[in-house]
Amino acid sequence: MINVDVSLNQEGQVTDIEMSGHADSGEYGKDLVCAGASAVVFGTTNAIIGLTDESPDIDYSDDGGYFHIRSVNLENEQAQILLQGLIVSLKTIEEEYGQYIKLNYK
């Protein structure tokens, strides 16, 4: 199962998102849940880097199964909107494939 830990501060700003595990919803290379979650996370991260002046702190595993993004400047509204969009996208995947992905709010 993919676990996504979403950390928000008291103002509702996203401070970090950590995704770990494997969906195992299909054979390697054909796992749609894993592909969808990965595409959303990497696409959002690339959008933050490419469209804002934010340089988030990122950790990931080369062999998959782990990705962690931390917002450096919480006042960057564009980056926050993109991160909120990431959460909405992952929540949409969870609603359809909840047996393979779980969002946890901290």
Task: Please indicate whether residue 68 is annotated as part of the active site.
Answer: no
Tokens describing residue 54: 């934010």
Contact in structure between 3 and 102 (CB atoms under 8 Å): yes
Q: Environment class of residue 29 by beta-carbon count within 10 Å: exposed (0-12), middle (13-18) or buried (19+)? A: exposed
Catalytic residue (one of 1, 5, 18, 22): 22
How many Å apart are CA 58 and CA 55, to the nearest integer? 9
Residue 66 identity (one-letter amino acid) = Y
Catalytic residue (one of 2, 6, 14, 34): 34
The residues annotated as belonging to the active site are: 22, 34
